[in-house]
Structure 1
């Protein structure tokens, strides 16, 4: 008998209704993912799950091969081969991303880890045959399409991906930890991305050997989930995959958990703002009962404010900015890893002592019953919420394929959930003592002094026709208003029993214009840190026991209180939601802690390349006297945040957090009558008040051809951000603008990305976008490029921008491609309640009609090339572009001088000019 996940989730919900909300218990036996399993004659395993809530289907293909199957000297090849799988096969010798864009593919990606390689996508049901054709073609008919040019191209892309990862703060951590935990020759002793010299040495012969060895049908699992019939899917898969050879027998490495004799210690330096102290132990393989115990131990240590390490080091002592722990589960051996980032000015040795003491206390005594109950609730809640999605990471197809690949049992998740449900305090204590009393490795990363170094030169005849496309479905919206003026917008969605609420206030970072930079960020972060009756830790504990999450935050134009909870916990969660909104206490202790955290976050931003660019651009795009002129990150400046007081946060709350300045956007398994009654009870006493208006004066526009340069010594990449202001939302056709941006820089096959990534190999990814501000918005292009191609990349970006409105305007072919992609991916765009809530929030923010998304696909279909070209002429202004670059000044400035800028102004990470003779742009501004 077949049951849909929808039905089973309702059974789960009803069976738990009688439980007290504050004492929710989860049973592994009540969670089931129905599926049918088929094995093709060639050994291919097929798993099929029916889910009819949206007319989409997820196709997830797993190959049981990863970096552990590589040979010494050929590291990184599993991942490099994954890239090659997207470059065409013998009977479809074209870019896979382009093919999926044309049929509305979403959640499209491929990933590689130590043990497996997977390829996945969500598509409209009508496109299933095409996806199966494409996946089968690259499984069975790849080699004839791979030539030296394609290998060289993707080698360059992967090497830039490696550079980009290593260019981030703490970017070397993974490589150092891998080599320390696994002895030379162990299948896990090299990183997934590999060594540069091994990538350089990869040959076409390696490609052929890898494909023939590991990409046979018997080494693959296909999980398909969605609006489908299992028997029909079986027939289709047999049709497309049945003729593919099984492949040779594979000898798999056996379980091999290295014994770490004694403690080892390693220190390295990096350009980071804080010292990081990391401990790592070798632990049991993926799926072992004790492996699951470590997932729970990890949550006890760092999962939320009430976790031991967070509570002690971040919350109470305030000597750390963050703590992290996780079980890095792998097939033949795992690692348990935990680290602390020490706040600047604090003694790392003292922090390490406390860090180690807290861990030892857990090893010695085990967790408390309450701790264990809390982390079990969080584990089950996260698992249930993940079942709302059929594809992507953690979705149904992903879970089924993973379980089948690793355990030859697609339902192995039941074993895991039983391990979680039945785990006792004594079990976790025993597991911790068994493994964490063995030798550990300590890895310390210290901030890098201002040394100088010598830079080295590191150089698949026709597709099936699409089936009938099912219409996208956006739920009908209902509106209501509470007695105090609070607007409510509801989309009722039955299925997975979750409810999402987003309380939107018209506030956000722009209100700092009337106060001080960083105020909105700090005030909203503080709102959920304590109420008149509950402390911050008590709020966090209640949320964990309810399986709920609650966040308070700001963005450029809005301040928000967000709740994601289970239907069974709705009443208690709503009480907590209302308490945070109506009764925030803004405790002085929490204010001081978060203020220091915000200052520390500013320092972190000023060490991260992309954040550095985002911090400085608004000042020069808008001019200093404008509501949008402060750092786009919203954190403000160190000196302004330092001056903020608790009274400033309270004033922000009293001024802006009002029902008449808010809309509550609700999505999920609840009807309006029930919802309004609950809200009137919980939020009806919230008092309205007059709210100030913000004057958006005309931005001051820089008329000079200027490049603003932020020096980041020893940076392996330069971050280029360039653009100018364009119309506020609604002043031009937004649908035409969306398609214009997609063509120029908004998706993988856009002009900019194909140029700098696929053609030049200078970037891992590049593109363009329009910011989401309500008023005049930045139109921007961006490119993180290798340092020695910084100037050349500016030249290419200039060419792409100027030619788009002159010699190479958007073409009908390009428009047809992006329109088709936009329409066909709509059914998968609103799969989850969170995704629907996000689109509803956009309707509210920009005051769009309730039927905007019901009409959206037709609006896109009817768009003409003339519409897009006209918008391009209105929006794109090459002569008005401001350029921002973050990189190593000494290595790039000489070539930049040759590009004909009127001025190159070196600025610091707050946007202040460093040369006292250089005037701020407002001295060359026009209104």
Structure 2
């Protein structure tokens, strides 16, 4: 239910405060057998420029990367009734181009420079923009961020505003098209009175977004997007003296804005339960219950978190135990607890199984909550909540930027507490929670009378869409620049694009490797910066090995493996993992199955014991199998809740037919009903064996320690894997045509063109990645710039190749406005048709190559991301130095290479265009598009007359 929006992709210096402060995580009381945790520290420096911009810096020279994270202290918290969504609209406008950078050039600069984690996001209390750049491109990032802070108005006109109104409303429609979204918004309407900053959606209402006018928007920017209403956190590989000089150069001359008064809105308490019933085009009804809880970083907020964790935030929480595991009356339970500036919000969403009444779910819910209030959480539940929180905080610090990274963490603490170094206090406050405090919080804040209860039931989706403003809106408005010409003349130096510094030396991971006596491969990569270990077990047990008629077997097998082992029940397995702050994740793809785990290194032994137990000794209890198979059958029915899910389900069927690549990976109703427990056991025995498996260990571990762990926990694993399935034969493509899948009332159309792609093992893969960057792989790609930025048809459109061991699908498209479905299809096909004969220009090619090369270090900033990449080395039999040599292969790509792969792998005359949406509204436009014959099919790919 949490609301967060993001843009897809973002004078002398005088210090008011200057300090170098270590933020140390305190040690927790540990059990005697527990190893001592090597705790991280974040050293930071903070100072304030004369114009009020607060600077927070953290040096980290592990990787040649630097993260720039700029937080503006503005969100819906600062909006007025009738002007909702302005902060989020500005999140988009800030990417449109500023005076010296140029129109729509911001994202091209950052992506061309090899940025990762590029985005802008809006939440109720703040808006932020961030990019993680190669270290030699720090000046470029500061140039871009300073120009849109100080010089956005000169490039902001009514045409750009109209375009981004369309884009933002497409984003809202994209949300409205998701199941239960209308009920999620109703939760906020009941928790808060109308006019409260948190009453509506962060994204704003259709009416308010469409009512935004150029004068309003410019005033909003001048009030809130100013240096004195912002903080900038910079983390990574930089020279502190040089950074200070650059900050003075780029931000120092931006004038201070008007004072922003604190928001002191009082949130009325709820003393009488509020209820509502909402209809939506969903298969299953859902019960939602929410409360107002303590605001961020208050003592009771931590205790409430622990109470909510026990109630419904762990795999075997009390609600999961009562509703999902035992009685099996609920398809899913999802609870969360979030804290904001004015208040916190706790909520639980419980989706019913077919035929189950929401009234019965609600009765069980209140009974379980009453037990929690009467007895309080157990010490084990509270310790699990603490361990999970600590793991999340420390693993987040692996990343310099992005959500939860170092720069984001420093800015977040500064935003909510005024202290960028609040981390040790945060961890200490969480550690101090007792079962008694959690019990008291449950009784104080999670009561029946203070609750909001929403029933979401199948029916018509009621939306508040409004007509688009006339094209001549704001045409007569006179725009005045905010600065004098004399000031503008002094800033003309900003027109020069900063040149990058010397290219940093890139060291990409090359694992060490050895094999156990049983044939299991082991890949090890040492990363000692934080006390974290990620362990992946990868087996060639993917969907391509599903027997005909048993599609979904590989997925179901891994799910059942994760429930229980021969010596641990589902409750024992989940509880043991959560007490050490981890979860053993089981997953399957088309090519592989396996298990993964990330754990703090003081729990390495316990974690490896759990991981090996799950992989080597799954129990396959009949009751677990039956429960998960029933859940999957219901999940297949729910796939019609989303037009995107419908299109992605049917598209491959039409290309690959009844082959593993065509039948839905998660199975069909018929295939899932045919699968038995014996099938799952047989699949496990035939595919899960050490001779066709790899253990990948990444993190704070030595090669010697890795050998010891591998031998101890996997050395005795036995079994022999059956021969791997032969590669599916690529189908004979058909001529381009259109397939409509009808979903009456859908607010958007899922429009995707499907074709045959290439295998993951193709030697052309680096060239294809360079080629697709320009076609549809980047925000500034031709497809996205056409459909989103030029025409405003979509929130985002792209293209890509799904990489399997055999030739997986190529697809291109996105979610588009219903009334322009035909026009969107024309523009999508225009870009696809012209691309082979108009491959990337020299400038586009250079940008694509630079981006692919320079963004690589950012792909390997966490142990989990490194382990995932190294897993593919085993899976596709790649050399150990595959990633280390990848930059040279990108650099070697020529224009002729790109032209060749464009002709060989982009086939606009052999595509199936799938449009999932309201047939009555989209079929006429698709007929007018004249892109090929049109037919209608159902969710199973069968023709509809």
The bucket for the TM-score relative to the shorter chain is over 0.9
- SS in structure 1 opposite 2:80? coil
Query: 1:78 is matched with which residue?
Result: 87
Q: CA deviation at 1:17?
A: 12
- Seen in structure 2, the aligned counterparts of structure 1 residues 844 and 693 have a Cα distance that, compared at 3 Å, is closer
1:628 matched to 2:658? The reply is no
Q: CA deviation at 1:646?
A: 0.8
Equivalent residue for 1:423, pick from 426, 433, 452: 433
- Seen in structure 2, the aligned counterparts of structure 1 residues 342 and 296 have a Cα distance that, compared at 3 Å, is same
Deviates more, 1:221-230 or 1:458-467: 458-467
Q: Cα deviations across residues 484-534 of structure 1 (Å, max 9, x unaligned)? A: 111111112211121112211112111113561111111111112111110
Query: 2:741 is matched with which residue?
Result: 710
Q: Cα deviations across residues 285-342 of structure 1 (Å, max 9, x unaligned)? A: 2221112222222211222222111121111111111112222321112222122111
Query: 1:188 is matched with which residue?
Result: 198
- SS in structure 2 opposite 1:721? strand
- Seen in structure 2, the aligned counterparts of structure 1 residues 105 and 453 have a Cα distance that, compared at 3 Å, is closer
1:443 matched to 2:477? The reply is no
Query: 1:751 is matched with which residue?
Result: 782
Deviates more, 1:429-438 or 1:65-74: 429-438
Query: 1:586 is matched with which residue?
Result: 620
Query: 1:520 is matched with which residue?
Result: 554
Q: CA deviation at 1:454?
A: 12
- SS in structure 2 opposite 1:164? helix
Q: CA deviation at 1:732?
A: 4.8
Query: 1:385 is matched with which residue?
Result: 395
How far apart, in 2, do the equivalents of 1:456 and 1:547 lie?
47
Query: 1:836 is matched with which residue?
Result: 866
How far apart, in 1, do the equivalents of 2:553 and 2:311 lie?
31
1:33 matched to 2:42? The reply is yes
1:302–1:309 CA contact under 8 A, matched in 2: yes
- Seen in structure 2, the aligned counterparts of structure 1 residues 887 and 447 have a Cα distance that, compared at 3 Å, is same
Query: 1:920 is matched with which residue?
Result: none
Equivalent residue for 1:171, pick from 158, 171, 181: 181
2:307–2:439 CA contact under 8 A, matched in 1: no
Which consecutive unaligned segments of at least 5 residues does structure 2 have?
1-18, 470-493
How far apart, in 2, do the equivalents of 1:730 and 1:748 lie?
26
Equivalent residue for 2:769, pick from 735, 738, 743: 738
1:785 matched to 2:816? The reply is yes
Query: 2:854 is matched with which residue?
Result: 824
Q: Cα deviations across residues 607-645 of structure 1 (Å, max 9, x unaligned)? A: 222221222222221232x232211xx210112212221
How far apart, in 2, do the equivalents of 1:879 and 1:509 lie?
29
Query: 1:919 is matched with which residue?
Result: none
Equivalent residue for 1:604, pick from 638, 651, 657: 638
Query: 1:798 is matched with which residue?
Result: 829
How far apart, in 1, do the equivalents of 2:571 and 2:336 lie?
22
- SS in structure 2 opposite 1:817? helix
TM-score, normalising length: structure 2: 0.92
How far apart, in 1, do the equivalents of 2:906 and 2:450 lie?
60
How far apart, in 1, do the equivalents of 2:445 and 2:83 lie?
32
How far apart, in 1, do the equivalents of 2:157 and 2:744 lie?
38
Instruction: Give runs of aligned pairs for residues 218-257 of structure 1, distance below 5 A.
Output: 218-254=228-264, 256-257=266-267
1:652 matched to 2:661? The reply is no
Q: CA deviation at 1:592?
A: 0.9
How far apart, in 2, do the equivalents of 1:189 and 1:215 lie?
23
Q: Cα deviations across residues 783-806 of structure 1 (Å, max 9, x unaligned)? A: 211111111111112211111112
What is the alpha-carbon root mean square deviation over aligned residues? 2.2
1:719 matched to 2:750? The reply is yes
Q: CA deviation at 1:821?
A: 1.3
Q: CA deviation at 1:31?
A: 5.8
2:734–2:911 CA contact under 8 A, matched in 1: no
Equivalent residue for 1:675, pick from 706, 709, 719: 706
How far apart, in 2, do the equivalents of 1:2 and 1:144 lie?
38
Query: 1:572 is matched with which residue?
Result: 606
Instruction: Give runs of aligned pairs for residues 133-148 of structure 1, distance below 5 A.
Output: 133-148=143-158
Q: Cα deviations across residues 208-248 of structure 1 (Å, max 9, x unaligned)? A: 21122112211111111111243432332122211222211
How far apart, in 1, do the equivalents of 2:713 and 2:199 lie?
56
Equivalent residue for 1:889, pick from 919, 922, 939: 919
2:754–2:812 CA contact under 8 A, matched in 1: yes
Q: CA deviation at 1:457?
A: 4.7
Q: CA deviation at 1:680?
A: 1.7
Q: Cα deviations across residues 398-445 of structure 1 (Å, max 9, x unaligned)? A: 111111122211122333222211111221222222222352211111
- SS in structure 2 opposite 1:775? coil
- SS in structure 1 opposite 2:42? coil
Q: Cα deviations across residues 721-768 of structure 1 (Å, max 9, x unaligned)? A: 212113333445111110111111111011110110001101100010
- Seen in structure 2, the aligned counterparts of structure 1 residues 598 and 777 have a Cα distance that, compared at 3 Å, is same
Query: 2:472 is matched with which residue?
Result: none
1:4–1:50 CA contact under 8 A, matched in 2: no
Instruction: Give runs of aligned pairs for residues 535-574 of structure 1, distance below 5 A.
Output: 535-574=569-608
Query: 1:615 is matched with which residue?
Result: 649
- SS in structure 2 opposite 1:774? coil
How far apart, in 2, do the equivalents of 1:400 and 1:693 lie?
49
Q: CA deviation at 1:100?
A: 0.3
1:491 matched to 2:525? The reply is yes
How far apart, in 1, do the equivalents of 2:73 and 2:789 lie?
28
1:368 matched to 2:378? The reply is yes
How far apart, in 2, do the equivalents of 1:351 and 1:436 lie?
17
How far apart, in 2, do the equivalents of 1:592 and 1:402 lie?
44
- Seen in structure 2, the aligned counterparts of structure 1 residues 2 and 251 have a Cα distance that, compared at 3 Å, is closer
1:475–1:492 CA contact under 8 A, matched in 2: no
Query: 1:879 is matched with which residue?
Result: 909
Q: CA deviation at 1:190?
A: 2.7
Aligned length: 901
- SS in structure 2 opposite 1:599? helix
How far apart, in 1, do the equivalents of 2:268 and 2:77 lie?
15
- SS in structure 1 opposite 2:823? helix
How far apart, in 2, do the equivalents of 1:901 and 1:475 lie?
46
How far apart, in 2, do the equivalents of 1:497 and 1:348 lie?
45
2:22–2:41 CA contact under 8 A, matched in 1: no
- Seen in structure 2, the aligned counterparts of structure 1 residues 544 and 306 have a Cα distance that, compared at 3 Å, is same
Deviates more, 1:336-345 or 1:432-441: 432-441
Q: CA deviation at 1:131?
A: 0.8
Q: CA deviation at 1:133?
A: 1.4
How far apart, in 1, do the equivalents of 2:548 and 2:690 lie?
20
- Seen in structure 2, the aligned counterparts of structure 1 residues 181 and 482 have a Cα distance that, compared at 3 Å, is same
Equivalent residue for 2:759, pick from 715, 725, 728: 728
2:40–2:530 CA contact under 8 A, matched in 1: no
Q: CA deviation at 1:895?
A: 2.6
How far apart, in 1, do the equivalents of 2:811 and 2:775 lie?
11
How far apart, in 2, do the equivalents of 1:84 and 1:390 lie?
26
How far apart, in 2, do the equivalents of 1:455 and 1:577 lie?
49
Query: 2:9 is matched with which residue?
Result: none
Q: CA deviation at 1:809?
A: 2.6
Equivalent residue for 2:298, pick from 279, 283, 288: 288
Query: 1:923 is matched with which residue?
Result: none
2:20–2:45 CA contact under 8 A, matched in 1: no
- SS in structure 2 opposite 1:879? coil
How far apart, in 2, do the equivalents of 1:727 and 1:208 lie?
48
1:26–1:377 CA contact under 8 A, matched in 2: no
2:751–2:914 CA contact under 8 A, matched in 1: yes
- SS in structure 2 opposite 1:847? coil
Q: CA deviation at 1:777?
A: 2.0
